[in-house]
Structure 1
Amino acid sequence: MDRKAPTMPLRRHLLAVLAAAGLAGALPVPARAAEPGAEAMVGHRAAYRLALDRVRDNSDIARAEGVMLYEVVDACDGWATRQRFQLRLTDRDGQEVETTSDYSTFETKDGKRLRFTLTQTSQGAVSQRVGGEAEVTPEGGRVTYTEPEAKEEALPKGTLLPMLHTIRSLAAARGGTRMLLVPLFDGTSPDGAQDTTTVISAWSPPQPNSRFSALASLGSARMRVAFFDRDPGGSGGGASAPDYEVGLRYFENGVADELKMDFGEFSVDGTLQELVVLPNPC
């Protein structure tokens, strides 16, 4: 489950086919069975308009606006994704700061391997780069970073990768489960996995959708995902205040709308403006 945007300074994604296809070609994929539920996910391109929702009493933020472009391509043995995020913040003195992120991944359909790159800029200058590969095993797995420095980090047991987290969250919603607590690794931080708590609403049947006909015949569920700094003691998400939260409605094909991104000091609404369902090449 991606679609994260930054804490301050900008970090965390929230994903251009050529770049993502390049990632796919760089990651040999053994023949493994796809996670059940992967067949329901569709390749798509979605554009969201970002606008300020609210600010905390002690915040200096007066205005926030931007865009997020998200693309996921079915590469048959995996999912190639790219998320581009741009946000302009204006403080109460009228000063503006523009931050952007460009985040690409390739995740195998069995949810075991991830290749990732993230570039973030502030006022046109690169502020952070993160890149590398991760492999999940029954014991947890490891991340091998190439940027910002060459190093390895262990992953905790039970770690999920982003697309698999989405698939498992949708399966939980359909099965009546209301909470999912797991470590999540998405490649947006040089610090390894984060603990997450996903609170899930009841499954909703298909509803009329005059703007996006591709979604009108699909069920959906609303979710709120809280991200926490990893607790070495293993107590899981919820032991402290979340680092970041995102709310959204997921349709059964993996398309999301009605985003709300809460950075603590302020929150931003993301409204789906354009949606293109991509043909399945497999």
Structure 2
Amino acid sequence: MFRSSLAATVLSGASALTFLAAPAHAVGPSGLVAHRAVYDLELKDATDRSGIAGMYGRMVYEFDGSDCAGFTTNFRFVTQIDTGDSTRLSDQQTTTFEDIAKGTFRFETKSFTDDQLDKDVRGAAQDNDEGLKVDLTQPAAKHVDLAVSRFPTEHMLDIIKNAKLGKSFFEARVFDGSDDGDRSLVATTVVGKQTGPATDDADAEKAGAFAKTPFWPVTVAYFNEKSAGDAMPVYRMSFKLYENGITRDLTMDYGDFVLTGRLSKLELLDPKACK
């Protein structure tokens, strides 16, 4: 799961599905597969307030590792933004490492505008029954105590588990190191009924061996922890989710503008063996 801090993981994982290539690429009991997915981004909608006349780009999401050794995610989100008067290039590069068994998470995000570094956020988090402890090292040393939270891969696995159980709605607090790395967000997740690709499904064929495999339509809305009543989410993401953690047909709603992400290339990576 990924949440670009452009405005945000995801793409940061009781049905009987059969994946044509899953057994050879499964990374462990979780069922998640190591993979690299490339998405072509386009502007779907923008309000006048956004100041955006046009926008396009590319997102590369690489998920690797194993249940026993932990999971590494490399994520790059590059967009060219046209304001009508000028254009600028935005480039976000994120690397995370998550050890579910130990409850640890490391993160580093660098954000560039026109090749100039705007922000560099680095830190580590430890989750236990007493809460989430975050130690930031960049841009300055800082310690933050937060409520117990899920990390991105844990949250992906929660979504898959609930989808299998037929549970269409659930809520969780999620920490992914986005933005300034000092807060978690409340994520409300809606899971639709499992279905297969329609004949006009735009990027189904790009899923390779999984092109005709059933998936769940999923929408995750992220809210600030202190939001109350009918508060608007800070970010909303919809996607089609396979049981192995691969996603496609993304819609990323940042409030003032909406991007779509079509899967253009999917590569399965060699699994990391547990010793």
TM-score (normalised: structure 2): 0.84
Match of 1:69, SS state, is: strand
Count of matched residue positions in the alignment of Structure 1 and Structure 2: 252
**Alpha carbons of structure 1 residues 119 and 145: separation in structure 2 relative to 1, 3 Å:** same
Q: Whose relative contact order is higher, 1 or 2, with alpha carbons under 8 Å and at least 6 apart?
A: 2
1:89, CA displacement in angstroms?
Answer: 0.8
Match of 1:136, SS state, is: strand
In 1, the alpha carbon distance for the partners of 2:48 and 2:4 equals 23
Instruction: Choose from 222, 228, 253 the match for 1:227.
Output: 222
**Alpha carbons of structure 1 residues 204 and 247: separation in structure 2 relative to 1, 3 Å:** same
User: In the alignment, is residue 6 of structure 1 matched against residue 6 of structure 2?
Assistant: yes
User: In the alignment, is residue 177 of structure 1 matched against residue 167 of structure 2?
Assistant: yes
Q: String of CA shifts for 1:169-213, please: whole Å, max 9, x gaps.
A: 111111111112111000113222111111211123588954333
Q: String of CA shifts for 1:93-138, please: whole Å, max 9, x gaps.
A: 3x11211110001101337110110000112211111111111112
1:247, CA displacement in angstroms?
Answer: 1.0
1:13, CA displacement in angstroms?
Answer: 7.8
| Structure 2: gaps of 5 or more residues | 13-27
Map 1:14-163 onto structure 2 (within 5 A).
39-75=30-66, 76-93=68-85, 95-110=86-101, 112-157=103-148, 159-163=149-153
What is the CA RMSD across the aligned residues, in angstroms?
2.3
Identity among equivalent positions (%) equals 29
1:217, CA displacement in angstroms?
Answer: 6.0
The equivalent residue for 1:259 is 250
Q: String of CA shifts for 1:63-118, please: whole Å, max 9, x gaps.
A: 1000001101124411011001101110133x112111100011013371101100
**Alpha carbons of structure 1 residues 182 and 56: separation in structure 2 relative to 1, 3 Å:** same
**Alpha carbons of structure 1 residues 51 and 271: separation in structure 2 relative to 1, 3 Å:** same
Q: Is the 8 A contact 2:5 2:179 kept in 1?
A: no
The 4+ residue runs of structure 1 with deviation greater than 4 A are: 11-15, 205-209
TM-score (normalised: structure 1): 0.82
Instruction: Choose from 184, 193, 201 the match for 1:193.
Output: 184
The equivalent residue for 1:211 is 206
| Structure 1: gaps of 5 or more residues | 16-36
Matched letter for residue 223 of structure 1 = V
Q: Is the 8 A contact 1:86 1:100 kept in 2?
A: yes
